[in-house]
Amino acid sequence: MQNNLQDIEKQALEKISTADSKDALESISVQFLGRKGVLTAFLRNIPSLPVDERPAAGKNGNLLKLKLEEAVRQARSELEAGAAGGAEGIDITLPGRMVKKGALHPITQVMDEISGIFLRLGFDIAEGPEVETDYYNFEALNIPKYHPARDMQDTFYVSENIVLRTHTSGSQPRVMEKNEPPVRIISPGKVFRCDSDLTHTPMFHQVEGLMVDRNISFGDLKGVLTTFVQQFFDKDTLLRFRPSFFPFTEPSAEVDIRCAMCKGKGCRVCSNTGWIEILGSGMVHPAVFENVGYDTQKYTGFAFGMGMERVAMLKYGIDDIRKYFENDVRFLGQF
Amino acid sequence: MKVSLSWLREYIPVDLDPKDLSDRLTMAGLEVDGVESLYDYLDNVVVAQVVQARQHPNADKLTCCTVDIGKGELFPIVCGAPNVREGMYVACALPGAVLPGDFKIKKSKLRGEPSHGMLCSAAELMLAHDASGIMDLDGEFVTGTPLESALKLTDAVLEIDLTPNRPDCLSLIGVAREIGALTEPRNKVTLPDVTFPEAKMDSRDIHDFVSVRIEDPQLCPRYTAGMLFDVKVGPSPVWLKQRLEAVGLSCVNNVVDITNFVMMETGQPLHAFDYDNIAKSKIIVRTAGKPGDAPLEFTTLDSKVHKLDPEMLMICDGEKPVGIAGVMGGENSEITDATTRVLVESAYFNPVSIRRTAKRTGIASDASHRFERGVDPEGTLFALNRAVSLMAQFCSATIARGIIDENPVKTPPVTIDLSPKALNVRLGTSFSADEIAQILGSVEFGIDKKAAQKDDGLLQVHVPSFRVDVARPEDLSEEVARLWGYNKIETSYPLITAKGRTLASRPVLRGKIRQAMTGFGFCEAINYNFIRKDACARMAIEDPDKRTRMVEILNPISDQMAVLRTSIVPGLLEAMARNTAKQVDTLQLFEIGKVFFDTAPGKQPEEVEVVGGLITGYRWDQTWYSKKEAVDFFDLKGVVQGLLSYFQISGVLYERTETGTCPYFEPGYGARIVKDGLVLGTLGKIASGVGAAFGLKQDAYLFDLDMDSLEKALPQAIQAVGLPKFPSISRDMTFIVPKRVEVGVMIDTISAFAQKQGLIEDYFLFDVFEGSNIGEDKKSLSFRVVYRSASKTLTENNIKKIHEQLSQKIINDFQADLPG
Ligand SMILES: [Zn+2]
């Protein structure tokens, strides 16, 4: 019985490997695997074998069937592939067996790139809870309850004193409480604001940073942020610093970059101003240092923060912020 | 905050064009969002002269005019105004003009006579109320001159997006003060005259008509009031209406309009009461009730009923509340056409108290907006006097002698000792004390010159009372920096110590997972942290499963985003549904993010970071080399195995999930991923009922791994192993076992055997076969065992006995048969 199967295998494989056309291959396939084929006949004959031989015969017969089917399939695709050629070789213009490609979310990509720039400048990553206490999210940052500045950030509450963090700055007092200067950290992560329209989603991503040491000046803030902007966007990107207000910095500055679309002439992207707001920043307010027990006579520092969705929109020309969280793979696959 | 240039010019010369002025304000911290020209609608309206006027042949009340519209052109225009006459200079809207109310001027015929434009009344051009006839322009004009320039109407309105720290600029005078510091030469604002003309003084004294008592001085440090008699309530004069309308306020009547005008001018909100509705001639400033009292119902002057908490500050008369202090007046004492005696209030309220009340009642008024940010505590009297004198003038009223000024809590002036050295360190500048004094002086900070000459070099700076945002030296550094110009401060680079900290492990792990998963062909998804409240029910998860402990958001944006997720599953399933709805049927998605479990009331939830992955659709598409084949459980398991092996995590067991632990998996298709007793995560096929609840029309396979556990399972260190020097030999073994026997258990047995027996290097399943010829309840399993010695080339004799022992052990342990 075993000999018989081995013979079938040997014969069949030889014929399959030498078949020179698809038609020839089909007839070989029928000869062995067809309804009246040799192997089919063998399998049909199993019940007539002695009882103790039947399991092995069945199994080996079926295994051979699979093996031959695979051999036929392979020979067929080789014949197809070589259809153009023979001696000239294969048709190399046939599509390859493409490996599936994955993609990182565009937000992850910009966040990684930005983190990378600051890591190279000697910053560490400090992460904090996404559900934060009112103290770390607001009070430690000099935003007392019932301060009008709270209107600047529409907050999600889960209880009277627990909020979904409105910025990642809460990590800053947490780190400062535990470490004496020098401190250089960035805090990338999700933040939440009670706002939803064409340009706002209730969740978005920020990278915020902090540098504290002796003699850190507003000029240094300008230097570090200029370095960042010119590495991230373009080495010739113009930027300007504009007075603003954040309760945790004094002086506070918005950083605008020259609109790349219109080169400053004014267009739809920059609302005809020629500038695009990209970062909030400022010198750390002494009240913040007092809250964490830093000596305000000895240390100064600066802080900054920016929204990843906005940065990615500028970088990739994305027009609708909601696309980030729809997770349509036709969108995700583009980055 | 809107300001018009013509209004600003009452206090400060402004010669800059609006664009230039906007840029300067923006770069000084008063961001100008937009500039609008106020008289744009006067395009195509010119000064013209009526050359000839004759009766319309077909209409009694119409006049056919010949009008000189400039450059010698004469237009026929039909006019219905009674005052039209030859030689008159008129305002003429030419074809193409679009007048207020979207009224388009075209060439047309009126009762058969041609008319190529329109002669306009002041009302039609929104320049005055007079609609009785066309404008009769007084003086000599060149015909064809645009009306806007002929009447010097040019005006622009700047929309300033003020930051909350600058309430002083919620006023025309405040903005004018900034402009004075930003233009050359620097100018100081000219304040309006607030002395009362003697002719307007009444003989009666206010103190004989009203008394004021402040019961809560902390909430109302100052309350001033003035009174007017014989007030004629009516429409405001045109100039006043124009001022208010230009900055976006609507007009009510002359008394109310004057309070609004003075608020816009000075930043101090005012309120006017009808004196005759003030019971018992008393004003009492007190809270609405005692703590614990029931809420008080009160109707504000916009006719809305509010429920007021007892701690809210109210203005009351001798019997009842008449206004919510600093927020909105009451309907019961508002000014009406019948009002003749007016009590004007100008007060200073505690900002926090006003903000709390405004928030709770949901009233955001121009008054509360200013009070909660902080008005000038010394500005109450000036604003009061300004309003009273304007009312005397424009409401033909007389002024009561005397004013009420209750000031139980004085606001002390702020003086700051400023170290020029510290300021320069902070800014990275090198200003001299004089330069600093000069810059600060430009916005009315007082510098004590004598103190400046003290040894310590400190400047004593007196902060003007309207700058409630300035309290410490750092605030002054911002003043200096913004007025000097941020962009003129030299850019420098900090010298930093090379002392670094160890990289946080979690971002590194996350990065590696992302690398592996994208390498496996997965796209990264980011889902919202918030999900639907019924998310657990949709996943068939029930109490006491930990995942039912969801954190609710008190103020959710929608029902779809009402709670924080306790599982990464729903987000991935929803993302799948969105994709398949767009005919994308093959997906490999992964997400790294946190899930949240409620702990105790008022406490932060437990945050757990997880990584989840989902596959659905086809392993291969239909191509020239493959047929379309659907993915199954083992594709997913392969991903998990691949990911764990990427991290060198070995010895992982896959255990069937217990009933109820992952009810969203199809029964019998779910597994726990376990290493050394630690559950790393789960994987399985989504149950069809759960899939249907998420609108899925095809099978989905999903895994999740806990990042903390994954981190714990990482090998401490990786030690290189030498490569084998001698060849291996392989032997196969096939068993027929009952179907219920799990391959994993057999592999565990082989593994245990291999560990005791040093020559087995590897072993794996290479075939599974089921068929009637081996019995309905049986399956045939084939394993390959690879033998290798580290010290020699193995021969058949070396392994024969071991292989037989292993085979026998399996036969014994699993009631296995050998085939054949
Ligand atoms: Zn532009």
Q: Is residue B124's pLDDT more than 80?
A: yes
What residues form DSSP beta bridges with A276? A257
B771 contact residues in A (CB cutoff 8 A): 58-59, 62
| Residue A113 C-alpha, separation from nearest chain B C-alpha, in angstroms | 12
For strand B665-675 and strand B652-656, is the pairing parallel, antiparallel, or unpaired? antiparallel
Query: What is the rounded distance in angstroms from the CA atom of residue A307 to the CA atom of residue B70?
Result: 57
In this complex, do A329 and B520 lie within 8 Å of one another by their Cβ atoms?
A: no
Chain B nearest C-alpha distance from A209 (Å): 15
Mean pLDDT of B7-21: 92
pLDDT band at B659 (very low <50, low <70, confident <90, very high): confident
Same domain, A243 and A325: yes
Cα A276 to averaged position of ligand 1 atoms, centre (Å): 8
Cβ–Cβ gap A219/B490 under 8 Å: yes
Q: Which of B312, B315, B327, B329 is nearest to B364 (CA)?
A: B327
Residues 6+ apart with CB under 8 A from B687: B540, B663, B664, B665, B666, B667
Between β-strands A183-192 and A124-125, what pairing exists: parallel, antiparallel or unpaired?
A: parallel
- In the A/B pair of chains, how many CB contacts fall below 8 A? 276
Alpha helices in B696-739 (DSSP H): 707-713
Q: How far is B493 from chain A (nearest CA, A)?
A: 5
Higher pLDDT, B16 or A282: A282
- Going from the C-alpha of A306 to that of each of A206, A253, A278, A281, A322, the distances in angstroms are 6, 12, 6, 9, 18
Best-predicted range by mean pLDDT among B184-188, B292-296, B675-679?
B675-679
Residue A182 lies in a domain: yes
CB atoms B528 and A283 under 8 Å: no
Is there a contact between B529 and A190 if contact means CB atoms under 8 Å apart? yes
CA distance A53 to chain B (A): 5
pLDDT at A1: 47
Chain A contact set for B596 (CB, 8 A): 130-131
Distance A272 CA to ligand 1 centre (A): 6
Distance of alpha carbon B682 from alpha carbon B674, whole angstroms? 9
Residue A86: pLDDT band with limits 50, 70, 90: low
Mutate to test the interface with A, among B161, B426, B611 (most CBs of A within 10 A): B426
Q: Which chain A residue has its CA at the smallest distance from B502's CA?
A: A124
Which residues on adjacent β-strands are paired with residue A240?
A256
| Beta-carbon separation of B623 and A95 below 8 A | yes
Domain match, A326 and A269 both: yes
Q: How many angstroms separate the CA of residue B415 from the nearest CA in chain A?
A: 18
Record the tokens describing residue B456, joined without a space: 């310590």
Contacts of B581 in chain A (CB under 8 A): none
Mark whether A37 and A158 lie in a shared domain: no
Query: What are the chain B neighbours of A59 within 8 Å (beta carbons)?
Result: 734, 769, 771, 773-774, 780, 819
What is the Cα–Cα distance from B666 to B41, expressed in whole angstroms?
Answer: 70
CB–CB contact B518 A59 (8 Å): no
8 Å CB contact of B520 and A102: yes
Q: What is the mean pLDDT of residues B292-317?
A: 93
Residue A211 and residue A66 share a domain = no
- Split at pLDDT 50, 70, 90, the class of B481 is very high
Q: Which of B478, B493, B526 lies nearest to residue A325, judging by beta carbons?
A: B526
CA atoms within 13 A on the CB side of B546: 12
Most confident region among A64-68, B501-505, B583-587 by mean pLDDT? B583-587
Q: What is the A214 CA–ligand 1 centroid distance (Å)?
A: 39
Q: Partners of B765 in the beta sheet?
A: B783
Q: Would residue B117 be called left, alpha or beta, if left means φ above 0 and alpha means ψ between -120 and 50 degrees?
A: left
How far out from the chain centre does Cα B493 lie? 33
For B690-719, write each residue's pLDDT tens digit. 999 999 999 999 999 999 999 999 998 888
- ipTM rounded to 2 decimals: 0.86
Structural domains of chain A, count: 2
Is A93 inside any structural domain? no
Residue B188 corresponds to which tokens in the numbers above?
């100081």
Describe the strand order of the beta sheet including B2-4 as a list of residue ranges: B2-4, B156-161, B31-37
For the CA atoms of chain B, what is the radius of gyration?
42
Q: pLDDT tens across B64-88, in order?
A: 999 999 988 999 999 999 999 999 9
Q: How far apart are CA B746 and CA A262, in angstroms?
A: 69
Interface contact A242-B31, CB threshold 8 A: yes
**Between chains, do B474 and A250 touch, taking CB under 8 Å as contact?**
yes
Q: Take residue A24 and report the two structure tokens written for it.
A: 């020839």
Residues A62 and A166 in one domain: no
What's the pLDDT at B558?
A: 92
Contact list, B494 vs chain A (CB under 8 Å): 211, 213, 216-217, 220, 223-224
Centre of ligand 1 to C-alpha A223, Å, is 24
Using one digit for the tens of pLDDT, what is the confidence trace for A231-280? Answer: 999 999 999 999 999 999 999 999 999 998 898 898 888 888 899 999 99
* DSSP string for residues in B381-414: HHHHHHHHHHHHHHS--EEEES-EEE-SS--PPE
Q: Give B115-181 as a DSSP string.
A: E-SEE-BTTTTTS-S--SSB----S---TT-BHHHHTT---EEEEEE--TT-GGGSSHHHHHHHHHH
Model confidence at B347: pLDDT above 60: yes
A206 belongs to a structural domain: yes
A71 and A113 within one domain: no
> Which amino acid is present at A153?
Q
| A169-193 residues labelled b (16+ CB within 10 A) or e (exposed) | bbbbbbbbeeeebbbbbbbbbbbbb
- The structure tokens 């400062």 sit at A176
C-alpha pair distances (Å), B285 with each of A14, B318, B381: 108, 11, 18
Q: Please tell me which residue of chain A has the smallest CA distance to B357.
A: A146
B490/A252 touch (CB, cutoff 8 Å), yes or no: no
- A123 and A207 in a single domain? The answer is yes
Question: Tokens 């703590």 label which residue?
Answer: B291
Partners of residue B675 on adjacent β-strands: B652, B678
Helix (H) or strand (E) holding B735: strand B729-738
Cα of A245 from ligand 1 centre, angstroms:
24
C-alpha B13/C-alpha B180 separation (Å) is 8
CA-nearest residue to A204 within chain B is B528
CATH of the domain at A316: 3.30.930.10
Determine, for residues B582 and A328 on separate chains, whether the beta-carbon distance falls below 8 Å: yes
Same domain, residue pair A252 and A167 = yes
Structure tokens at B288: 């609405």
Tally of CB atoms within 10 A around B63: 21
Distance (Å) from the alpha carbon of A287 to chain B's nearest alpha carbon? 10
- Residues B394 and B414: their CA atoms lie apart, in Å, by 38
Is residue B654 a contact partner of residue B680, using CB atoms and an 8 Å limit? no
**A217/B425 touch (CB, cutoff 8 Å), yes or no:** yes
For residue B185, whether the previous peptide bond is cis, meaning omega lies within 30 degrees of 0, is yes
Tokens in use for A232?
């991230």
Distance (angstroms) between ligand 1 centre and the Cα of B528 equals 31
Is A327 within 8 Å of B578 when comparing Cβ atoms?
A: yes
- A313 and A206 in one domain? yes
Residues A184 and A271 in one domain: yes
* Separation in Å, CA of B485 to nearest CA in chain A: 8
Tell me the residue type at A78: E
Torsion of CA B63, B66, B70, B72, to 10 degrees: 180
Cβ-nearest to A58 among B503, B555, B774: B774
Full set of structural domains in chain B with CATH: 2-38+155-182 (3.30.56.10), 40-150 (2.40.50.140), 198-406 (3.50.40.10), 414-487 (3.30.56.10), 505-713 (3.30.930.10), 729-814 (3.30.70.380)
Q: pLDDT grade, residue B414 (50/70/90)?
A: very high
For an interface test with B, the pick among A121, A250, A279, A283 (most B C-beta atoms closer than 10 Å) comes out as: A250
A100 within some domain? no
Look up residue B415 and give its amino acid.
Answer: T
B820 CB contacts (<8 Å, ≥6 apart)?
A52, A53, A55, A56, A57
Tell me which residue in A161, A211, A333 faces B602 most closely, judged by beta carbons.
A161
Q: Which residues in chain B are closer than 8 Å to A101, comparing Cβ atoms?
A: 521
Dihedral sign for Cα atoms in the order B301, B307, B310, B312: negative
What pLDDT shows up at residue B454?
Answer: 62
Q: Is residue A318 part of a domain?
A: yes
A133 and A204 housed in the same domain:
yes
Structure token pair of residue B797: 């004799």
- Residue B280 to residue B260: CA distance in whole angstroms: 27
- Tell whether A110 is covered by a domain: yes
List of E strands, B186-336: 201-205, 211-214, 222-229, 270-274, 282-287, 296-299, 305-308, 313-316, 321-324, 328-329
Q: Is the pLDDT of residue B311 over 60?
A: yes
In a mutagenesis test of the A interface, which of B182, B488, B523 is the best target, namely the one with the most A β-carbons within 10 Å? B523
Among B628, B630, B654, B626, CA closest to B640: B654
- Is B272 within 8 Å of B335 (Cβ atoms)? yes
Shortest distance, CA A249 to any CA of chain B (angstroms): 9
Residue A9 belongs to what domain range? 2-84
Q: Do B507 and A286 touch (CB under 8 A)?
A: no
d(C-alpha A65, C-alpha A62), whole Å: 5
- Contact criterion met (CB below 8 Å) for B320 and B347: no
* Residue pair B620/B626 in contact by the 8 Å Cβ criterion: yes
- Do the chains contact at B164 and A149, CB–CB below 8 Å? yes
Nearest to A68 by CA among A17, A22, A21: A17
pLDDT value, residue B674? 96
pLDDT digits (tens, 9 = 90+) for B226-235: 999 999 999 9
Give the residue with greater pLDDT, A255 vs A35.
A255
pLDDT at position A164, please?
96
Query: Hey, are the CB atoms on B477 and A283 less than 8 Å from each other?
Result: yes
Which residue's entry shows tokens 């010695």? B789
Closest Cα of chain B to A327: distance in Å? 5
Return the CA Rg of chain A.
Answer: 34
Round to whole Å and give the CA distance between B368 and B354.
6
- Asked which of A202-211, B213-222, B666-675, B730-739 is least confident by mean pLDDT, the reply is B730-739
- Closest-approach residue (CA) in chain B for A218: B427
Are A34 and A135 in the same domain? no
Give bridge partners of residue B48 from the DSSP assignment. Answer: B90
Measured in whole angstroms, the distance separating CA B585 from the mean position of its chain's CA atoms is: 37
A92 falls within a domain: no
How far is residue B539's CA from residue B665's CA, in Å, rounded to a whole number?
9
Please indicate whether, in this complex, the C-beta atoms of A218 and B767 are within 8 angstroms of each other. no
Inform me whether the pLDDT recorded for A84 exceeds 70: no
- Contact assessment for residue B373 and residue B170, using Cβ atoms and an 8 Å cutoff: yes
Residue B397: CB atoms within 10 A of its CB come to: 25
At residue B97, the pLDDT reads: 92
A196 to B557: CB separation less than 8 angstroms, yes or no:
yes
Q: Does A150 map to a domain?
A: yes
Task: Give me the residue from A80, A161, A243 closest to B28, CB to CB.
Answer: A243
Q: What share of chain A is helix, strand, coil (3-state, %, to 5)?
A: 45, 20, 35
Give the mutation candidate from B368, B440, B469, B491 for the A interface (greatest A CB count, under 10 A): B491
